[in-house]
Amino acid sequence: MAYTETPLNRFASHVLQTVLTLIPKFLEEPEPQISNEDGVLHSIPEFVLMIADKLSPSPNLMRDPYGSHILASLFHLLIGQTYEVRSSSSEKFGKEKNKVNIEEITKGISVQVPQSFSALLSNIVVNLISPDDATARRIQREDITKLPTHATGVISLTALLETTKNIDLINLFLEKGEEWILSCSEDKVGSHFMCSLIKVI
C-alpha cells in the first residue's frame, strides 16, 4: 500500500479511525515530555492538527467510502467527542475477536478541546465552501450540494453539519430552493441528511 492512501485503504482507514476515536480520552490528561531517537514527540493536540492538515478535507475525500468515516471521526474529535460507526459485520467481528469494545471505552466521552481545534474546524468549512478562487468556489459548492444524496458522502457531511452548525453551510443547502429540498427529502439517503439539517437550524 502506498502510504498516501492510508485514509483510503480498506484496513488502514479503520486503524486511523480508531486512533481518532481514542484521542479524546487523552485530551484532558497531563502531557509529559516524551522523547525518542528523533527528538521530543509532539503533544496529542499537535498531532491532531497535523493529521487534520494532512488530510485536507475535500468533497472527493468526503465521498470516499473510507475517507468519509475518517473525516466524520476527525470532525467529532475537533469538538471533543468520539465517533465510532462500524458496519454490522465489523462490529460482530470486534465483539468476537477484539474482546475490548471501543464503545465501552469511548462512550459518552465529551472533553474540552484547545481553541486551535475550534479554529481549525471553522477553517475547514471556509475552505470547503468558500475557496478564494471564484471558479473553484462555484464548482466546490455545487459539488458539496450533491453530497446529501451520496451514500457515503452524507456521513462526513452530516458530521460536519452537526459539529459546526455553521450558518453558511446551512444556507448553502437552503438556498438551493424548495424543489431541491423536496427532492432531497424524498431521497433514501437525502432524507436522513434533511433530518440533521432541520435539527441544526
- Residue 108 CB burial class (10 angstroms; 0-12, 13-18, ≥19): exposed
Residue 88 Cβ, how far from other proteins at the closest point, in Å? 8
Check: CB of residue 59 under 8 Å from CB of residue 147: yes
Give the x/- contact pattern for other proteins in 120-159, rule: CB under 8 A: -------------------------------xx-xx--x-
190, three cell numbers: 437525502
Establish if 44 lies at the interface with other proteins (CB under 8 A).
yes
* Euclidean distance between CA atoms 8 and 11, whole angstroms: 9
* Euclidean distance between CA atoms 129 and 168, whole angstroms: 8
State which residue, 51 or 181, has the beta carbon closest to other proteins: 51
Q: How many residues bind other proteins (CB under 8 A)?
A: 65
Kindly report the length of the chain.
201
Establish if 66 lies at the interface with other proteins (CB under 8 A).
yes
Establish if 68 lies at the interface with other proteins (CB under 8 A).
yes
Establish if 14 lies at the interface with other proteins (CB under 8 A).
yes
First to last CA, the chain: 42
State which residue, 30 or 179, has the beta carbon closest to other proteins: 30
73, three cell numbers: 471521526
Check: CB of residue 66 under 8 Å from CB of residue 17: no
**DSSP string spanning 58-109?**
-HHHHHSTTHHHHHHHHHHHTTTB------HHHHHHIIIII-S-HHHHHTT-
Establish if 56 lies at the interface with other proteins (CB under 8 A).
yes
Establish if 200 lies at the interface with other proteins (CB under 8 A).
no
163-192: contacts with other proteins (CB under 8 A): 192
Radius of gyration of the chain (CA): 18
State which residue, 31 or 175, has the beta carbon closest to other proteins: 31
Stretch that binds other proteins, among 26-34, 112-120, 137-145, 173-181 (CB under 8 A): 26-34
Q: Please state the φ and ψ torsions of residue 33, each to the nearest 5 degrees.
A: -75, 130
Binding stretches for other proteins (CB under 8 A): 1-16, 18-19, 22-23, 26, 29-32, 34, 36, 38, 41-44, 47, 50-51, 54-56, 58, 60-61, 65-69, 85-90, 93, 97-100, 102, 105, 151-152, 154-155, 158, 192
